Structure formats: C-alpha cells, structure tokens
A and B are shown apart, each in its own frame.
Chain A
Amino acid sequence: MNINNINIKNNNNNTTQSIMSLPITYDPITKIISINESAQNDQELKEEIDQLNRLSKDFINLNSEIPESPEPSKTLTPLIKKLVTSGIDAQKRGKHHDAIKQFSLAIDMASRRSRWEAFAIQLQELNLILMARCDSYIMTKNWIDAYNDADMLLGTQVNTPENFLRRATAASNMGRLTQAKYDLERGLCFVEDDERIKTQLGVVNRLIAVENGDL
C-alpha cells in the first residue's frame, strides 16, 4: 500500500482550505510517515506527523489486536514513583541538583506512557513532579527554569495558590516585577486572604516602588 497523498483535516495557517493534500509519504516497511522535501520547514505539520508516528509506533509495539485499557501502565508507574520519592528525599536533604535530576528523569519517564492511557491521571502525576522540580529550581535560584515549570503548572492547574507564588517568585527575581504583581493579584482572586501571597505582594510592590524611585 503506497499512499502519496493523504487527505486529512488540517488547520495549517498557510492555507484557508480545511481539506487539502499534504506533502507526506508513507513507508510500508518502517510504517512511518515522512514529510516530503518541499515541506521540511513546516513546523506545525512536523509536529502533527511526529505525534501520528508516535501513536502508530505505540500500537505496533503493543503486539495485540486491541489496545489495552486506559489504565496507567503497571510497569512504568512504580518506576516513576520510585524516582519521585528519591527526588523528594534528596530535596529534603538539601541536595537540590540531585533532586532536579531525579524529577527530570521522572518527567521523561512519564512522557513515555502510551498515548491511550487516561490523560487526567497523567496530568495529575506530571503536575506533582513539576511542583517538586519547580521548588528545587527556586532553591537553586534557577529562575528561568522555575518560571517555565510554574508557567506550565498555571496552564493546567490554576486554583493552587502555591503555583502563583512560584511563578511570581521566579518572575520577580528575573526582574519582571509587573508580571509578578499581576500573578500574585490573580492568585488572591482564587484564594482570598492567603497570607503568603499577601506578604509576597507586599515585597513585590516595594520592589516596584524602589525601581520607580519612590522609595
């Protein structure tokens, strides 16, 4: 079977058509779809094709006619748990660089889960690891990475006041005081009277005043 042009729905921003023929080729031996030379620079297409290849690979590796249940994999879950607990141990002992390594490994492992596993569980797991890693980044003053982790956390889970604190701390240390102020104010909207956010907001407001020459 050799399909040169596959019609799939596409929201590529270079075209206004919703249905179009894509410049992709299917290799029946490796069972992988590759992008033709002409469209190598199309990042969005590349992303989507990668995901499609990944899913088909998962199915092929399964060696079974029907996909498994969406329950979390029984082999990966304990491995990830182990990495996380050792990471938290290292964090408690103050070895934040080790902890970050463990957490990163755990995230890497978690991302290897099959695509049909329940996403809600995957997300929850990822959030827990990200929170721990973000804290370690903050402790090691790696503000940029801490900011990215907190940003991801806020994207998936807004009603945790700690996440606002995390991003605001990272932002204020990166010099983005207005961003920090906005994060803390937004955090207060979800959790009124959170003392930690209030104190941090006071600190940020003071920093802004100093930057403006008011203090």
Chain B
Amino acid sequence: MDSRYNYDEHSQTWPVFTLSVLVVTLIPFTIQAVSNAFSSTKEEPIVGEIKLDKVDSQIKKFRSNRKPSKIFTKKNLFILLGWLSIGALIYHISITEVKTQVSAFDPYDLLGVEYGTSEKDIKSHFRKLSIKFHPDKQRNLSEDEKLKSEEHFVLLTKAYKALTEETTRENYEKYGHPDGPQQASHGIALPKFLIEGKSSPLLLALYIVLIGGVLPYFVSSWWSKTKTYTKKGIHVETANLFVEKLLNHKPSIIVRVDTILTWLSEATEFKILFPNKSNEEIFQLFQNHLNRKTPISDDQLKAVAITPSLIAGLIDFAASFRNTEISNMAVETLKHLVQAVPESTKNELLQLPNVDQTIVQEQKIVRLGKLLTLGNEEIKKTLGIKDDLKLKETLDVATNIPILKLIKAEFKVPGEVVVTPESTCYISVKVVVKSAKHHGETQISEDKLKENDTLETLRDPYQIVNAQPSLPKSFAPFFPTERRGGFVALTSLQKDTKITESPAFFQKLSLSNLELTQEQYKDGSKVSVGTFKIPITSPTPAQEGKYQFRVVIKSTDYFTQDLDFPVIMHVQNPPRLEEVNYDIPDPDEDSLAGAVAQMKGEKVKRVDDDSDDEDSEFEEELSDFEDINTDTEDEAEGN
C-alpha cells in the first residue's frame, strides 16, 4: 500500500461519510413518502362519482390483492432501515473520541514563543533552547533517547530558520513547511479492518459480485425490458401481431367485438401469463366475462385485467394504420369488457345494475334517455326490477352516467381569428355534460364558450383542458380492477373516412351538470361547459379552401350516445389590416423627405412659386440635370 494513502484507522471518518450519503438520499425519499401519505388521506369526493357498491366479493378480493399495500412497501422498508442506520451512526460518532493527528508544522509552537514575536527575541530564545537541547549537551541518554533528542533539535533548527532565514521562510509560507512541498496524504473513508483485516477477501468477493453479477443483471434486465415491451407497455410480439392483423385486414370483412377479442386472445401477454392455455381458452375467458358467468375463475379476472392496455395499444396501431373501423370497434370492445356486457343493441340498459337481461332484450327501448322519460312502474317493467330499493340503485347509476352534448366544434389556430394556411391548429370542442334525465335543449350563453387569448393560453392552448377536474372512478362492478376511464377522440378525414390523427385521450372533465334538475338544465345559467382540444399534428394545408373532418368522441367505459360530428377546416388567409391614414401631409417637393418620396413614387406637394419663364426654364434644365443624375445613379446601382 502506498504510504500516501491511509485508511480510517480509528473509524473516525467513515461513519461521517456514510452518514452524509445516507442523509442526502433519505431526506428526499422521506419527504415524498410523508407528503404522499398526507395527500392520499385528503382525497376529496369527486362530483358525479357513482358510489354504489355492487362489486362481487371475489372481484373485491382480486382488487385488494392487486392493490399494493401502502405501508409495507420496499420503499418504506428502505426508509426505515436508512433512518435506523443513521441513528446507529450518530451514536457511534458520539461515542468515539476524536483524535486529531497534529502533523502540521508550527514553528512558533515548536520554539515555544508567541505568534508575532520579533526576530530579535526569537534569536535570543533559540540560543537559550539550543544550549538546552543540543544533542552534544545531552548526556547520560540511551541510544533511543539520543535519536529522539537529535530529531527534536533538527526540528527546532528548522523552526528557527523558518522564522529568520529568507529561503526557508519562503518555503514555509508557500507550502507550510520549511523544507518545501511535502508528500500529500489522502484519507480513505473506509475502516481499515475491511481492507487489511481478515475480511478483505470478503470485500473482494463483494466487489466481484457487484461488478460481475449484480450490475450486469440489472443492466441486462432493463435492456431486455425495453426490448420486449413497447413504449405503450405491450409486448413486442403482441405489437407484431396487431400490425400483422391490420396489414392483412380486408376492408370487406366486418369487424365485430368478437373479432377484436380473437385478436386479443392471441397476445403474447397471455402466453406468458397462462403457458398452458390455448388461444381459444383465453377467448372463452373473455366470453365468460362478457356473459357474467359464475363462478368467476381467477384466470378470467387476471386475463380481463390486462385487456385495457392491450386495447389501448391496438387503438394506437389501428390509428396509425388510419383504420377508422377497427379503432372504433376496439373502443367498443373496451366498453363491453369494462361493463361485462355482450354485444347487442341494448348495451345502454344492460350496463345498469339489477337489470334482467332477458326482459331488457324483449323491450323496444334502447336508450337511457328514453328510459328515464317513463314512470317508475314502467321502468321496473322494462328492466325487470321488482324491488323499489333496487330500482333506486339502478336509477342512481342511470342518472349519473355522463352523456356528452356537442355545443360547438371548430378548428382554431392559436392567436388567429381564422384558420391560416400552413399553421399548427387544434380542434376546439365545447361540450355540455348531461345526465340521461336531462331532455331537450339547453341555453348556453356565448360568454361560456369564449376563451380569452392571453399570452399564457397562446403558449399552451391546452391549459384550459388540463385545468378541468379529473373524472371520477367509473361504475364497473364486474371489471377486475378499479377503472378511471375517460373519453377518446378519433379524428378522420371525410373524403376517405380514414383516421388522420393519433387518438386523443381525455380524463379531465367536470361532471357538475349531473346534479342539475331538468329546469336548471333547460335554463342553462348553471350549466358548465367542458372543453376538449384535439391537437392536429400536421400543419394546415397551404391552399385556401374547405377541408372536411369527422370527429368521434367515445366514452371508454360507458355505453352512451357517443359524439360523432363533422367539422370543417376552412383555411383562409388572415384578413388584411386596413391601411391606416395618419393624415400626414405630403412632403414638400423641395424638401429631403419630398425627394425620398419622389424616388419611391409617392405624391409630393408641388412648391408654388411665382417664378417667371426663365426660372422655369432653369428648373427644367435642373430637372433634366437631375434626371441625368438619377439615371447614372440607377446604372451605378444596377452595376
């Protein structure tokens, strides 16, 4: 070992070092954990949440198993152990005595004089000391003592020289030692027993395991994870499968919920989850779920639980293949899975709790809106409900399912009055959330649709969308996990019916309108207006004209009448600003401004002077002259 390095022999430095590292890492973690713990307890009830508890006990168990425990997490364990070791370290530091090694060279101290003593005094003091400590004067000493006294005397001489002699003094001032630069010594904050004691093979083994084993393991697992899963979190093989399905899809084949489910059942995620199950068996699990078959198997819950992420991936791919039909049907499939309702025309009624499927299928009524125009007895008959309490539950859900009503949709370019060519635009959609119990039109004043153009909104036009409150948890008692759904917007071109934009997901919208009565809804003063903004990635066309788009906004979790409307992108050049007349009089012909104006071809005021012919001739000559002048100038410019 190089003598320049020394280990922490007295265990003084390493605890402090370890302590500071621990404190630096632990404090942010702890602050985060504490703030999380406090924020989650203060969760406010969201307006429009359906609180009815209809969840099957088995699904409840599955949900609670999936939810990670809040207290016993790895992170909390790390924080706990961290603080414990901090405590131990502080205790250790407090009981170890700090032994400072005085190695600094202090000539004043060595000579035993006070700092700032004059050179003369130092000289006389040194003389006294040299008489006392000179090795020749010391007698009756052992060899050892002799050596020591010699060393001491050398030091004394050095100290004396450092204070009196020019060069030594310089050395002392520069390097802190009269002999010049000293060997630097570095401390390593590792206890000596770890390196040079019996445990040094242990440390070596630890190094080997860390660098040869743990590090490559983490890097490779991270790498394989990024390689096997796409950004959207679906397996690469599944992504391949979806692309293949979309490539080979024939437009003549009608896509149904079952088609999508068959595609999903072939996903690699299920092969990993259930190595022994065939695609057909997984498809059967989906079917059992849609038909609400009992008893519910654990496999079924597991399989259905991962479908939303797979479908999100499929929608993404379908949209990039510009396939409207498949994208639409994929969202529909998600609704069916979330509500556990098989494909039929009565989906809106079947998603309600307590309904009798067979009775509902026989009825003429299809929509929630129509259902809620009926009296209670008729509703009971339509849905096959006998109990009044159960009817109340059902109606509670029916009236709290948000339905979108389109108020206004238009293309917008931030900061412009019209849609200008070759600019970035978005579709601004103003909607009113209504309950199925609300009927007819609502009066929305223009002020509610207006957005103020401020510098902030120009910088981020989507601010207003994100400022809306989050949507509550969806009512999906049969779905294996808790759902917080939303809305997805698909934008397509009317000309070829193909999707132009990647789907936009929205999870923020105020549902406060659900609590309004029919009168309040009609009156409209208390109705709040929601905003969706669909970004358009490609710039607007360079040519002026009208371009027709279709926007479909679907709820991902509920069966409702989805929004489906045409929007026209009317590209036109911005209106020209009218030329402002500041009423500045034309400059005089003979002034400098006049000359400039004349050269620009602007009007000038002729100077009226009553000059006689001679003068005018002269002027003519002058003007000729000027003409020549300007000609040459022009030529010069031309050159």
Partner of B561, one of A13, A175, A212: A212
- The CA of A152 and the CA of B202, in the complex, are separated in Å by 79
Q: A11-B248, A182-B550 are in contact. Are A214 and B439 (CB under 8 A)?
A: yes
| Contact call A213/B439, Cβ cutoff below 8 A | yes
Partner of B244, one of A13, A155, A158, A213: A13
Chain A positions within 8 Å of B245 at CB level: 13
- The CA of A181 and the CA of B370, in the complex, are separated in Å by 19
- Min CB distance B128 to A, Å, is 101
Nearest to A208 among chain B residues (CB) is: B561
Partner of B345, one of A175, A181, A186, A190: A175
Partner of A186, one of B372, B440, B566: B566
Q: A16-B244, A189-B494 are in contact. Are A212 and B564 (CB under 8 A)?
A: no
Say if the beta carbon of A90 comes within 8 Å of chain B.
no
What does the 1/0 interface line of A147-170 toward B look like (CB < 8 Å)? 000000001001000000000000
Q: A182-B550, A186-B566 are in contact. Are A212 and B248 (CB under 8 A)?
A: no
- Min CB distance B32 to A, Å, is 46
- The CA of A175 and the CA of B564, in the complex, are separated in Å by 17
Say if the beta carbon of B6 comes within 8 Å of chain A.
no
What does the 1/0 interface line of A171-215 toward B look like (CB < 8 Å)? 000010010011001101110000000000000000010011110
Chain B positions within 8 Å of A11 at CB level: 247-248
**12 A-B contacts (beta carbon < 8 Å):** A13-B244, A13-B248, A158-B495, A178-B561, A178-B564, A186-B550, A212-B370, A212-B439, A213-B369, A214-B369, A214-B439, A214-B440
Size band of the interface chain A makes with B = 20 to 34
What does the 1/0 interface line of A87-109 toward B look like (CB < 8 Å)? 00000000000000000000000
Say if the beta carbon of B366 comes within 8 Å of chain A.
yes
Chain A positions within 8 Å of B568 at CB level: 189
Q: A16-B244, A182-B550, A185-B566 are in contact. Are A212 and B367 (CB under 8 A)?
A: yes
Instruction: List B325-384 residues whose CB lies under 8 Å from chain A.
Output: 345, 366-367, 369-373
Say if the beta carbon of B548 comes within 8 Å of chain A.
yes
Say if the beta carbon of B565 comes within 8 Å of chain A.
yes
| Contact call B367/A213, Cβ cutoff below 8 A | yes
Nearest to A175 among chain B residues (CB) is: B345
| Contact call A188/B367, Cβ cutoff below 8 A | no
| Contact call A213/B373, Cβ cutoff below 8 A | yes
| Contact call A189/B561, Cβ cutoff below 8 A | no
- Min CB distance B263 to A, Å, is 11
- Of the candidates A12, A189, A211, the one having the most CB atoms from chain B within 10 angstroms of its own CB is A189
Instruction: List B534-591 residues whose CB lies under 8 Å from chain A.
Output: 548, 550, 561-562, 564-566, 568
| Contact call A211/B367, Cβ cutoff below 8 A | yes
- The CA of A48 and the CA of B189, in the complex, are separated in Å by 77
| Contact call A182/B244, Cβ cutoff below 8 A | no
- The CA of A31 and the CA of B147, in the complex, are separated in Å by 119
Nearest to A152 among chain B residues (CB) is: B252
- Of the candidates A181, A188, A211, the one having the most CB atoms from chain B within 10 angstroms of its own CB is A211
- The CA of A212 and the CA of B367, in the complex, are separated in Å by 6
- The CA of A62 and the CA of B580, in the complex, are separated in Å by 80
- Min CB distance A185 to B, Å, is 5
Q: A211-B370, A213-B367 are in contact. Are A189 and B244 (CB under 8 A)?
A: no
- The CA of A212 and the CA of B568, in the complex, are separated in Å by 27
| Contact call B345/A182, Cβ cutoff below 8 A | no
Nearest to A16 among chain B residues (CB) is: B244
Chain A positions within 8 Å of B247 at CB level: 11, 13
Partner of A213, one of B248, B370, B495, B497: B370
Chain B positions within 8 Å of A189 at CB level: 494-495, 548, 566, 568
Nearest to A12 among chain B residues (CB) is: B248
Chain A positions within 8 Å of B345 at CB level: 175
- Min CB distance B158 to A, Å, is 85
Chain A positions within 8 Å of B550 at CB level: 182, 185-186
Chain A positions within 8 Å of B494 at CB level: 186, 189-190
| Contact call A181/B367, Cβ cutoff below 8 A | no
- Min CB distance A161 to B, Å, is 13
- The CA of A175 and the CA of B344, in the complex, are separated in Å by 13
- The CA of A117 and the CA of B369, in the complex, are separated in Å by 55
- The CA of A54 and the CA of B531, in the complex, are separated in Å by 57
Chain B positions within 8 Å of A188 at CB level: 566
Besides A185-B566, A214-B369, 17 new A-B residue pairs in contact (Cβ under 8 A), listed by A number: A13-B245, A158-B495, A175-B345, A178-B564, A181-B564, A185-B550, A186-B494, A186-B497, A186-B550, A189-B495, A189-B568, A208-B561, A212-B367, A212-B561, A213-B370, A213-B373, A214-B439
Instruction: List A120-143 residues whose CB lies under 8 Å from chain B.
Output: none
- Of the candidates A16, A175, A181, A214, the one having the most CB atoms from chain B within 10 angstroms of its own CB is A214
| Contact call A182/B561, Cβ cutoff below 8 A | no
| Contact call B564/A213, Cβ cutoff below 8 A | no
Chain A positions within 8 Å of B561 at CB level: 178, 208, 212
Chain A positions within 8 Å of B497 at CB level: 186
Chain A positions within 8 Å of B548 at CB level: 189
Chain A positions within 8 Å of B373 at CB level: 213
- The CA of A186 and the CA of B568, in the complex, are separated in Å by 11
| Contact call B566/A213, Cβ cutoff below 8 A | no
Q: Which 3 A-B pairs have the closest CB atoms?
A: A13-B248, A212-B369, A213-B370
| Contact call B366/A213, Cβ cutoff below 8 A | no
- The CA of A185 and the CA of B439, in the complex, are separated in Å by 24
Chain B positions within 8 Å of A178 at CB level: 561-562, 564
| Contact call B565/A213, Cβ cutoff below 8 A | no
Chain B positions within 8 Å of A181 at CB level: 564
Chain A positions within 8 Å of B369 at CB level: 211-214
Chain B positions within 8 Å of A212 at CB level: 367, 369-370, 439, 561
- The CA of A132 and the CA of B497, in the complex, are separated in Å by 25
Chain A positions within 8 Å of B366 at CB level: 211
Instruction: List B54-102 residues whose CB lies under 8 Å from chain A.
Output: none
Chain B positions within 8 Å of A185 at CB level: 550, 565-566
